[in-house]
Amino acid sequence: MKILDALFARWMEGRVAKYQSALMARHCEEVQHIYATMRAWRHDYHNHIQAMLALVDEPDELRAYLSALNDDLARVDPVLKTGNLMVDAILNSKLSLIRAHGVAVSARAALPPEVRVPPVDLCAIVGNLLDNALEACLRQGEGQERFIRVYMGVLKEQLYISVVNTMAGGRAHALRSEKGEGHGLGLGRVDGLVSKHGGFVNRQQEEGVFATEILLPLPSAPFAPDFPRRRERMVYWA
């Protein structure tokens, strides 16, 4: 019996190590993308300064240049503001990386002033959901439509989180990562955190689209999970 316990403990240590390694690699990729974006902005910043200095004596042209520059900045990597700084950080970091992989993104998020789930746990839930969605998109074949849709808001006095993504293969494939065992730990982490805070997880697959929905109780409301039909919800926020 002790031998079996030791083997099981070693097997679990291996799974955790693989999960942590994959997590670190993903974080490094996100940081590298942020630094690359910052370097590009710095390069463009110098060019814009030179152009504006040349237009100092031409106020109309300078005003037109600044207006065009403002429009460009509004279109590049828009920042999502949810009302929660930590969630803002994880969401914008993940969404920026997703866009860098050529995956279309649609995101809407507005959090209430108070949530029952600690920010660290909420960020872990959101981060793992987006990691799972991106991996599913990257497994699709060339030329296939790839998108991720994110919605966070209040639904029936509960905090509602929805992540919808395109995918390849069937349900079993949607829940399995090429990274192997570590990915299962990521999904298990989401389920564990949601359960810990009295929430509810619903996963569904339909026509090449995989959806994960979560309800979490808010401080002012008792928890009574009541999901409407998924098609109605997708139309609601898409």
pTM over 0.75: no
85-237 adopts what CATH topology? Heat Shock Protein 90 (3.30.565)
Residue 165, CB-side half-sphere exposure with 13 Å CA sphere: 26
pLDDT at 45 > cutoff 80: no
Which CB contacts under 8 angstroms, 24+ apart, belong to 189-192?
A: 189/124, 189/128, 190/124, 190/125, 190/128, 190/129, 190/214
**How large a percentage of the chain has pLDDT more than 70?**
63
The region of weakest confidence among 20-24, 54-58, 91-95, 115-119 is 20-24
pLDDT of 87-132, one tens digit each? 888 888 888 889 888 999 999 999 988 888 988 889 889 989 998 8
Report which DSSP code applies to 83. Answer: S
Sorting pLDDT into bands at 50, 70 and 90, what band is 149? Answer: very high
The pLDDT, as a whole number, for residue 183 is 42
**Under a CB-based contact definition with an 8 Å cutoff, are residues 211 and 234 in contact?**
yes
